[in-house]
Chain A
Amino acid sequence: EAGVAQSPRYKIIEKRQSVAFWCNPISGHATLYWYQQILGQGPKLLIQFQNNGVVDDSQLPKDRFSAERLKGVDSTLKIQPAKLEDSAVYLCASSYSRHEIRGKLFFGSGTQLSVL
Chain B
Amino acid sequence: DAKTTQPPSMDCAEGRAANLPCNHSTISGNEYVYWYRQIHSQGPQYIIHGLKNNETNEMASLIITEDRKSSTLILPHATLRDTAVYYCIVRPGGGATNKLIFGTGTLLAVQP
Contact = CB atoms under 8 A, between A and B. Distances in A.
Interface of A: 4, 30-31, 33, 35, 40-45, 48, 50, 55-56, 91, 93, 95, 97, 99, 102-110
Contacts of B44: 43, 91, 93, 105, 107
Interface of B: 2, 32, 34, 36, 41-46, 49, 85, 87, 91, 93-105
Given A42-B2, A45-B99, A50-B96, A103 B91 contact: yes
A90 to B, nearest CB: 10
A97 B96 contact: yes
B95 A102 contact: yes
Contacts of A93: 43-44
Given A42-B87, A44-B102, A104 B49 contact: yes
A105 B98 CA distance: 12
A65 B46 CA distance: 27
A109 B2 contact: no
Contact of B43 (A41, A48, A95, A109): A109
A110 B43 contact: yes
29 contacts: A30-B96, A33-B100, A35-B102, A40-B104, A43-B44, A44-B102, A45-B99, A48-B97, A48-B99, A50-B96, A55-B97, A56-B99, A93-B44, A97-B96, A99-B96, A102-B93, A102-B95, A102-B96, A102-B98, A103-B34, A103-B91, A103-B98, A104-B46, A104-B49, A105-B46, A107-B42, A108-B43, A110-B42, A110-B43
B24 to A, nearest CB: 14
